[in-house]
Structure 1
Amino acid sequence: MAVEQSTVRPSRPFALVLVLAAALVAVDQLTKWWAVSALTGRAPVDVIGDLIQLRLTYNPGAAFSIATGYTWVLTLFAAAGVIAITWFARRVRSRAWAVGLGLMLGGAATHLGDRLLREPGFARGHVVDFIDYGPFVGNVADIALVLGVALLLVLNLRDIPMTGRAPEVEADPTA
């Protein structure tokens, strides 16, 4: 009797999450490399007047420079975020959910990489920010995180499940 060998392959939506996240990490890190090499020691560069500028900063904190003295805690949060998003993403069957989770996973993974590998040291690294839009300075990963969260919020508000199937409506037996 032959034993059937089965190979466990990730679902296509999960593969999309991973590919999108990996691409985002690559783009984010390349743009940060460019920013460090091109903007170090330079005055802000106007892109759209004072509305959008390129200005190199190193952020030891979270959004809006919150918790700047607790970079190691932010590193733990980023690691927990990467683990949680990956765990949830394995169950996704919807392409839209895969895109949202891929954007979030890529953003969280690249921030985790910055925290682990950049100066001033392991688990204390500062995130490279260079896109200055008024009161905020961010990077490609920040934009992806915001877009991913917004997409998942819209999907939730529209009751679109991770499985990609519309919720079944029960027929009213009295009708």
Structure 2
Amino acid sequence: MAEAERIIGTPDSSEAGAAEPDKADEAAAQDPQEAPEQETTAERPRGARRIAVLFAVAALAYALDLVSKLIVVAKLEHRESIQILGDWLQLEVIRNPGAAWGVGEAFTIIFTVIAAAVIVVIVRLARKLYSLPWAIALGLLLGGALGNLTDRIFRAPGVFEGAVVDFIAPKNYPVFNLADSAIVCGGILIVLLSFRGIDPDGTVHKD
């Protein structure tokens, strides 16, 4: 009996091994969504790294802005300006309740709301972020917006109406701070990425 089972009842091991790929192919054919799901899973770590870059850049920009403002307020406010490059570049502390050039001094609360809205939009956009240059650009915007928003909330004359501390004074140019620099650099980078057709999700399109 055992001999008969060996001859007619037990499949050859090589045949069994050959059948396994067929089963695998059949399973793949029955589930066409499996490959895209695997690609999505592979993309998640890459997206997480881009988000980490965004928040790391934002944290660095915010920390530099915050520390610089604390130092210049403690050491330079109500004192003579310090010349860095003669008349071309000086350090001079001013309190700016408006935007650049002191525009909109009566609308401080509006600039506060705009800064808060920018932060919310960037955080929401981060979920679809797969581009490293976009992560850096949005990180600069986020850090700069947080820096100036901190002034709007915590500095005099009151909550959401605080004046921003500016201290970098080039000749014939409005006084600004490191948060403003981060915002400008982030905006320029976004414009360049848009001209090159690079989207935040990493795709490239040509108009």
CA separation in 2, counterparts of 1:167 and 1:61? 38
Please identify which structure carries the higher strand content.
1
Report runs of 4+ in structure 1 exceeding 3 Å deviation. 165-169
Displacement of 1:93: 0.5
Task: Tell me the distance in 2 between the aligned counterparts of 1:166 and 1:75.
Answer: 34
1:22 is displaced (CA, Å) by 1.3
- Stretches of structure 1 that go unaligned for 5 or more consecutive residues are 1-7, 170-175
Aligned to 1:166: 204
Match of 2:65 in 1: 28
1:57 is the counterpart of 2:94: yes
Which residue of the partner structure matches residue 24 of structure 2? none
Q: CA deviation at 1:41?
A: 2.0
Match of 1:137 in 2: 175
Out of 109, 118, 121, the position equivalent to 1:84 is 121
- Name the structure 2 match of 1:156: 194
Give the partner amino acid of 2:122. I
Structure 2: unaligned runs, 5 residues or longer: 1-43
Q: TM-score, normalised by structure 2?
A: 0.74
Higher relative contact order (CA 8 A, sep 6+): 1
Partner SS for 1:90? helix
CA RMSD, 1 decimal? 1.8
Q: Amino acid of the residue matched to residue 103 of structure 2?
A: I
After superposing the two structures, state which structure 1 stretch, 72-81 or 95-104, moved more.
72-81
SS at match of 2:175: strand
In structure 1, C-alpha distance between the alignment counterparts of 2:169 and 2:94, rounded to whole Å = 9
Matched pairs, number: 162
The higher radius of gyration belongs to 2
Structure with the higher helix share, 1 or 2:
2
Note the alpha carbon deviations across 1:30-53, whole angstroms, 9 max, x for none: 000011011122111110111110
1:12 and 2:49 aligned: yes
